[in-house]
Amino acid sequence: MPASTASAQVLVVEPDAAAQELIALNLGMAGHRVTRAASAESALLLIDDALPDMLLLDWTLPGQSGVALIRRLRAHARTCELPIIMLTARAGEQDKILALEGGADDYITKPFSPREMLARVHALLRRRAPPAAAAVRMAGLLLDPATLRVTAGARQLALGRLEFKLLDFLMHHPERVYSRAQLLDQVWGCDAALDERTVDTHVGRLRSALQPSGHQEHIETVRGSGYRFVTWGGAGAGALRC
């Protein structure tokens, strides 16, 4: 999630070109970065490539409906907590109940004013924003949750969202070994079923991101137990690298 509601990455899923342009224009003027899709299928491709901070989507989409897309996203650990606002001309009470019970966080009936849309976007981002965490400096790395940056000296390291969360958790609990199941619970934090090998994949990505500064050795694999962040210079006796 973004540290500030002023610079969120928002995916707009709207099949009507004029409406899509208007929504994107107003979000951009408010300081947000916008990507666009006209169908559920194209939205899923964009989400697979890069997880946005928020999703705004229409109910009536070609192929798969907006409600079906929401249910699909809520069923997966990577997207189960994605903030979602439904924008639709369906104004009936039953429609709203169906959308909210399907997983939408908010529901805006068309036509709506840009001011109302932005107010709801910012309100949802504030509600979903995690409590501010303290920056941590360890082993030559500085991790700052407020800016979502990891630096080693003057070098800024490029970490994905989940790799950042993984490093954040491990650095706040140095030297302690966590199993894959514990990391899934603490870092992914969703009830959706997820293979524990997913942890191995993201640990590999985290090590690759830390490699330019030589800090990959601080992510240690403990045979038969899990992973930990070590504060000293690298993997030692009794530890294995994946």
Spatial contact of 155 and 213, defined as CB atoms under 8 Å apart: yes
Span 108-143, pLDDT tens digits: 999 899 999 999 999 888 877 666 667 899 999 999
User: Can you tell me the distance from the alpha carbon of 95 to that of 89, in angstroms, rounded to the nearest whole number?
Assistant: 10
Span 36-81, pLDDT tens digits: 999 999 999 999 888 899 999 999 999 889 999 999 998 887 888 8
Instruction: Map out the domains of the chain with their CATH numbers.
Output: 5-128 (3.40.50.2300), 160-240 (1.10.10.10)
Residues of the chain with pLDDT > 70: what percent? 89
The stretch 145-170 carries a mean pLDDT of 90
pLDDT at 130: 61
β 219-222/155-157 pair status: unpaired
Half-sphere exposure of 56 (CA within 13 A, CB side): 31
Within the chain, what is the greatest distance between any pair of CA atoms?
65
Is the dihedral angle over the CA atoms 8, 198, 45, 41 positive or is it negative? negative
Span 212-221, pLDDT tens digits: 999 999 999 9
β 226-229/219-222 pair status: antiparallel
Q: Which residue has better confidence, 194 or 200?
A: 200
Specify the range with the lowest mean pLDDT, choosing from 29-33, 138-142, 144-148, 214-218.
144-148
Specify the range with the lowest mean pLDDT, choosing from 2-6, 20-24, 68-72.
2-6
pLDDT at 234: 46
pTM of the model: 0.58
In the chain the first and final C-alpha atoms are separated, in Å, by 29
Adjacent-strand bridge partners of 136: 143
β 155-157/149-152 pair status: antiparallel
Chain-wide mean pLDDT for the chain? 86
> Which amino acid is it at 154?
A
